Amino acid sequence: MATVIDLDEKLLIGGEWTEAEDGARFDVNDPGTGGRVGSVPNGTEADVKAAIDAAAAALPCWRSTTALERARILRRSADIMRERADEIARTMTSEQGKPLAEAKGEVEYAASFFEWFGGEAERIYGEVVPPMNGANRVLVLRQPVGVVAAITPWNFPAAMMTRKLGPAMAAGCTSVVKPASATPLTAALVLRCIEDAGAPAGVVNLITSRDAGMVANTIFTDARVRKISFTGSTEIGKDLIRASAEQVKRLSLELGGHAPYIIFDDADLEPAVDGLIASKYRNAGQTCVCANRAFVQRGIYDAFLALLKEKVEAMPVGHGLAEGTMIGPLINEAAVEKAHEHVEDAVAKGATLVTGGERLTGEGYDGGSFYKPTILDGVTREMDIFYEETFGPVAGLTVFDTEDEAIDYANDSIYGLASYFHTRDYARLMRVAERLEYGIVGANAGIISAANAPFGGMKQSGYGREGGSVGIDEYLDVKYVLMGGVGVV
Ligand code: NAP
């Protein structure tokens, strides 16, 4: 399939769409064909500084707008995103690879953060606390932290950005955004929605650059940037924790995941299979909440595996813009190699390849990074896939006998983002949900993300929460004011 998008975007600095200071640009390619889909400026250190200048200049005015005004702009941003859903989704599919239906779903999901945080803007309440001394009065204020930097990944090019910009704008913060260099075009289209919704110049600024290290260094060494919100790999997240020490920057980190998916004997078979498929194969297995390990109780194992195989083999793989595609390409060749290495390692250590296990080439796949949806049977703790995030369409199954054994398997990970299980036993549902060491638990549900819920991880999956009623706290400072000598003593 020929690539159909041809989009050249720019940086957004202080309300102006501009080229990089030195005029350099880089191409964005379609992972489904290898073809060019557009280009963006390769932002320099001077550009990052200019974006921080713009965000700092816009801050005094933006932080003093009324909550109602900020809410209106956020809701309008959501409406405009929805009006442009087709254009944004096609661009997203072209640069990221996910099937068009999934891309449209992501645009709606991304817009929902603007809507949700529009509501939250109006509920940034403080407190009046009963004083310890009758002469005093005690107030608690919640104020915007200031200039925020947002660094986002390529797997959800729109939603990972709005999940940060929504609460930042609602709180009264201004932002500099650095999207992944694989998917900067979607980011530019989302920022155009915010601009067209009436956000004043400098409230959101966009830096595209291939030099993420330089961007991060410039952000971390500028005292005006008070907070960095990062979504990406645990490895880079750890670098950012170290970098934050110098100026004691506030951080929110949404990092890697390695979700367990447990199916108990008493689960409804088909919803459990469909849940695992939705969790595992959505976005070709490239989500932080993807099931990476499936633990299936012995009594249901054979039936589960047979139905899973039938459904996985029926999933059409192809370009994301092709009609009917359910599995698109992986983001690049390195991603294909990593998935294949996990499969080869598992098979070499005794796992059985049930289906898949190979890259796809030939008609419809040439130039792209396609990997056949794969199932491995008999995964053990000796295999890399048991402990490492695959980020590809590979499901590894392990049989278990008891609830304790399943919990032990599931919690045996350095990650703690999402987890899932299926059961019809209500007592077990509550018990297992409480015992899983994960920030998110899907009970009889394979899709768990929503703007109204606090999303975030434990252990090496990061800290901070995005979405829900607590999401805005990440962008607010709490200040306590003691007013002396004002009361009747
Ligand atoms: P990544 O390599 O860590 O990149 C994420 C972002 O960080 C990109 O914008 C990247 O820029 C930038 N970056 C790269 N090197 C950097 C550096 N030295 N300093 C600062 N920023 C740097 O991760 P990814 O491969 O894009 O995304 C996949 C990972 O994200 C997976 O581990 C996944 O689990 C995780 N993820 C987590 C969540 C969550 O909510 N917990 C959600 C989605 C994804 P360039 O693109 O220019 O390199």
**SS3 per residue for the chain:** CCCCCCEECCEEECCEEECCCCCCEEEEECCCCCCEEEEEECCCHHHHHHHHHHHHHHHHHHHCCCHHHHHHHHHHHHHHHHHCHHHHHHHHHHHHCCCHHHHHHHHHHHHHHHHHHHHHHCCCCCEEECCCCCCCEEEEEEEECCEEEEECCCCCCCHHHHHHHHHHHHHCCEEEEECCCCCHHHHHHHHHHHHHCCCCCCCEEECCCCCHHHHHHHHHCCCCEEEEEEECCHHHHHHHHHHHCCCCCEEEEECCCCEEEEECCCCCHHHHHHHHHHHHHHHHHCCCCCEEEEEEEHHHHHHHHHHHHHHHHCCCECCCCCCCCCECCCCCHHHHHHHHHHHHHHHHCCCEEEECCCEECCCCCCCCCEECCEEEECCCCCCHHHHCCCCCCEEEEEEECCHHHHHHHHHCCCEECEEEEECCCHHHHHHHHHHCCCCEEEECCCCCCCCCCCECCEECCEECCECCCCHHHHHEEEEEEEECCCCCC
Using the mean position of ligand 1's atoms as its centre, give its distance from the Cα of residue 362 in Å.
31
Q: Residue ranges of the chain with pLDDT lower than 50?
A: none
Using the mean position of ligand 1's atoms as its centre, give its distance from the Cα of residue 229 in Å.
11
Find out whether the beta carbon of 149 lies less than 6 Å from any atom of ligand 1: no
Ligand 1 atom with the smallest distance to the CA of 152 is: 9
* pLDDT tens profile 174-221: 999 999 999 999 999 999 999 999 999 999 999 999 999 999 999 999
Q: Is 254 a catalytic residue?
A: yes
Ligand 1 binding pocket mutation candidate from 26, 27, 151 (most atoms within 8 A of CB): 151
Find out whether the beta carbon of 232 lies less than 6 Å from any atom of ligand 1: yes
Find out whether the beta carbon of 233 lies less than 6 Å from any atom of ligand 1: yes
Q: Is 87 a catalytic residue?
A: no
Residue 376: the pLDDT is 98
Ligand 1 binding pocket mutation candidate from 177, 236, 239, 419 (most atoms within 8 A of CB): 236
Find out whether the beta carbon of 150 lies less than 6 Å from any atom of ligand 1: no
Using the mean position of ligand 1's atoms as its centre, give its distance from the Cα of residue 332 in Å.
14
Atom 21 in ligand 1: which residue has the minimum CA distance?
A: 212
Residue 232: the pLDDT is 98
Using the mean position of ligand 1's atoms as its centre, give its distance from the Cα of residue 393 in Å.
19
Residue 487: the pLDDT is 80
Residue 67: the pLDDT is 98
| Catalytic position from the list 195, 288, 403, 474 | 288
* pLDDT tens profile 45-79: 999 999 999 999 999 999 999 999 999 999 999 99
